[in-house]
Amino acid sequence: MSAKTARAVALMLLTLPLALLSAGCSPRTPATPPAPPPAEAYESGLRAYEQGNFEQAATLFAASGAPQAKAYLGLSLTKSAAQKAFRAYEEALRADPSLDDAMEAMGFLLANEGETAQAKTWFIKAGTSGGVSPEALVRLGDIFLTEGNCREALASYEKAAAPPASHAPALRRLEAVRGLCGGKAAASGAGTWTGRTGRTGPLEGDPAALVTGQGAKTGRSGAPQAPQPKAGPKTIDLNDI
């Protein structure tokens, strides 16, 4: 064996133990836990859903082949998105407490989640801060109407129907609700708030009592509970307007 070859062999024998040691100490990718059986995935998904862990629930429902799991999968994805949106609006309002667009968006989000009392407060808060869109005024009027408050419902619809907005859904609601409630809305209240049409109207509720730490409200389990309207001589279906 030549001297050159001997040196190469010796170098290889020196580096081989280091290479083996390095390979033994390298971090290993943790093994992905096996998916639970479909029935177990469904039950675990239900528990996660009830606890408000909607992302985890969606993963578990996706692993289950049961038809009802697919329905809950859709609900979980929707509620997970609502949670993320709620946190984004909260962060925006912490950065700028006068951001009326975020307040209005919070109102729509809560109304869609069935939290109409809080949604109403956010819409009113947006009005006192800078103004609300005709769409938000119509949604606010719908909330007032389901509460049996015809006066405030009509006031909201009238603001949305006024020029320059002349919002068509508000005009249709005015025609139907005036027949239900009778007459126009009467001016009252301790203060005024403004729609983006520039008109003022009665203020109801206490915007100063708002608490932005209500994110758990978007984590309610089960189907949202619709507000119960007060008894009256007539009923109206908002879907028909």
Please, which contacts does 199-203 make with residues 24 or more away whose CB atoms are closer than 8 Å? 199/158, 199/159, 199/162, 201/155, 201/156, 201/158, 201/159, 202/151, 202/152, 202/155, 203/124, 203/127, 203/128
| pLDDT of 165 | 84
Q: Spell out the residues 6+ positions from residue 82 whose beta carbon is closer than 8 angstroms to its own.
A: 109, 112, 113, 218
Which of the two residues, 2 and 96, has the higher pLDDT score? Answer: 96
Kindly tell me if the per-residue pLDDT of 172 is higher than 50.
yes
For the chain, what percent of residues have pLDDT higher than 70?
60
| pLDDT of 108 | 96
Q: Would you tell me how many other CB atoms lie within 10 Å of the CB of residue 147?
A: 17
Task: Provide the pLDDT confidence category of residue 6 given band limits of 50, 70 and 90.
Answer: low
Kindly tell me if the per-residue pLDDT of 60 is higher than 60.
yes
Short-list 7, 4, 113, 94, CA closest to 54: 113
Beta strands in 85-204 (DSSP E): 192-194, 200-202
| pLDDT of 33 | 56
Q: Would you tell me how many other CB atoms lie within 10 Å of the CB of residue 203?
A: 18
Phi, psi of 201 (to 5 degrees): -155, 180
The per-residue pLDDT for range 32-59, each reduced to its tens digit, is: 555 667 778 999 999 999 999 999 999 9
Token pair listed for 199? 């008109």
Q: Is this structure's pTM higher than 0.75?
A: no
Short-list 115, 78, 122, CA closest to 217: 115
- Residue holding tokens 């109304």? 111
The per-residue pLDDT for range 85-131, each reduced to its tens digit, is: 999 999 999 999 999 999 999 999 999 999 999 999 999 999 887 77
